[in-house]
Chain A
């Protein structure tokens, strides 16, 4: 085995796929998964993904770190379903507009599992993607216009810089004795100051990029080259097929169990 092949084997699986692929896979997987709101398909899909992650060496810590916002959002949406979904079956409790019934309990658990089943694998796949690799993929593989992609990439770097600007602006407000009163107005003023700083930074960034031949006069005549190649490999095919397979398994299990229930039929 060559050194390169060994190095490739050590690379985490998600870094072997092109960063564009998880986005495509997420779309292909989500469409069938949105066709039904039932416990079985979501539970099967979620379980299947956890098996896939374990096989790929993606540990629970990575999964939690990337998908934690969902772990907050999913219970919230479940609770609202639990309390406010159209009641059906036995009613367990009723407080003003909120009603907990057999139907709402079932719907709440289905929603909870579905948000996780769609959201967790998607976030694990796309959170933490290196912006530079993503931009390379978007321009070279997805063939989006490279001027747009590169401008966006350079803009992403500015976010970090603007975060520091925002901190400084906030400290400066306090130093000037502002902020005791009129919070909203002060916030708007600070946002405006940040906007001005952002525009100025954007302007100088554009100049710096132009000075390095970006969008130059010979554009179109000479093709731009790419220092970092971005290509598709078998790993990308594997990921897409995996996403489709999990979706098929989940829907199949749901149909077989007789619980397949499209949203338009939710009230039935």
Chain B
């Protein structure tokens, strides 16, 4: 045993020029990512707008965040974002798990037809204007639930779910069926409990998509009561459309606080859920 181990010895780790260069490159890379984000964070706590990059705010204030949580014109979009994100992730999970589960029923007549019915939408679409006209016919213009409905159905996520479900041993289904379990029973009692990781990954993908959606609001919604926070933030910064406020802070402070509010939910969740986010990419792309 011992001899076999020393037969090949990895070269000893030594500090080479390469590894120093490698570290330096990555420090620079990390700074390039972090500096814009840190600048926004610091400026959101600073009551005066300045151009310099600083490590710490000089005139500390929380007023930027007070405005966001106190002004109806900003709080309402923030609430809309939370509501639509949660509803969108739930609807998305229900539809993608149902769709994915039915697509692995190899015994079901017409299964291929249904798969093509879904896949065709990935190849061809009616386009922006016909979609707009349909939504208008459905009475969904100026209605934030359009965000939920539009993201709730996502064919590529159905396919991801199917890929994941295919990995569950068919013998489990067979055994349950022999025991008299209904398809819905198998789905709820066997498939879903075995798919917690996939549910987390794909649920997060839906949530990020709804929370971050800006163009749907831009196209379909005008009413200030129905817009989401991403849209409000963008309009505020591009058009200087800030609500009147009693707090003595610069516009830039409010803009930066808005940016932080728009990324905070996922930045808080992210360190804990990173593996699920990453897994979502890998079930899709590297799956064999």
Do A and B pair up? The answer is no
Instruction: List chain B positions with a Cβ less than 8 A from chain A.
Output: none
